[in-house]
Amino acid sequence: MRLVVSMIKLTKARQGEDELVVDFIDRWRSLSLNCKDRLNETSSIEMYIQGINWGLHYILQGLNPNTFEELATRTHNMELNMTLREDQQSSVYGPHEDEDIEKLQSEGKFSSEDDFEGLAPNGGDSMEANPCE
């Protein structure tokens, strides 16, 4: 027997604090497919964006994706990029810095090590510089 979901339940669906975007996409899509009222693509996109975490919600409002699939792909890619940036910032001087830089360069995210200067804790200055002098 198929569980019928109300429009109210679909509208109230929110991404959990530790829930990955792909998991929320699957959960939301499942709810929408079981909704007793059929949604058009535009309504689906708007409702999904309302349920996503605030950081992605803010970014997605200006993208205007044409399909739910495009929206899901962009959301997932943004989450991956945000996670990669967080990992990169926490390991700027860590043991895997060179591997992280090579990975980002191979993915076309940055063109050279100079692009990473802004990620350094002291604003990109060399370790030898003393800002107190």
The upper half-sphere exposure of residue 20, i.e. CA atoms within 13 Å in the direction of its Cβ, equals 8
DSSP-assigned letter for residue 72? H
Residue 84 near residue 78 (C-beta atoms within 8 A)? no
Residue 83: per-residue pLDDT: 82
2-56 tens-digit pLDDT: 678 899 999 999 999 889 988 999 999 999 989 888 888 888 888 888 998 887 8
For residue 126, tell me if it sits in a domain: no
Residues in Cβ contact with 99 at an 8 Å cutoff, skipping those fewer than 6 apart: none
Q: What angle do CA 73, 78, 84 make, to 5 degrees?
A: 130
Residue 123: per-residue pLDDT: 45
Question: Mean pLDDT in the chain?
Answer: 75
Provide the b/e sequence for 68-99 (b: ≥16 CB within 10 Å): beebbebbbebbeeeeeeeebeeeeeeeeeee
For residue 49, tell me if it sits in a domain: yes
**How far apart are alpha carbons 72 and 23 in whole angstroms?**
11
CATH number assigned to the domain comprising residue 60: 1.10.1200
The upper half-sphere exposure of residue 122, i.e. CA atoms within 13 Å in the direction of its Cβ, equals 9
**How far apart are alpha carbons 89 and 118 in whole angstroms?**
10
Q: Residue 15: what are its φ and ψ, rounded to 5°?
A: -70, 130
For residue 121, tell me if it sits in a domain: no
For residue 130, tell me if it sits in a domain: no
Record the pTM. 0.58
For residue 23, tell me if it sits in a domain: yes
- When divided into structural domains, the chain yields a total of 1
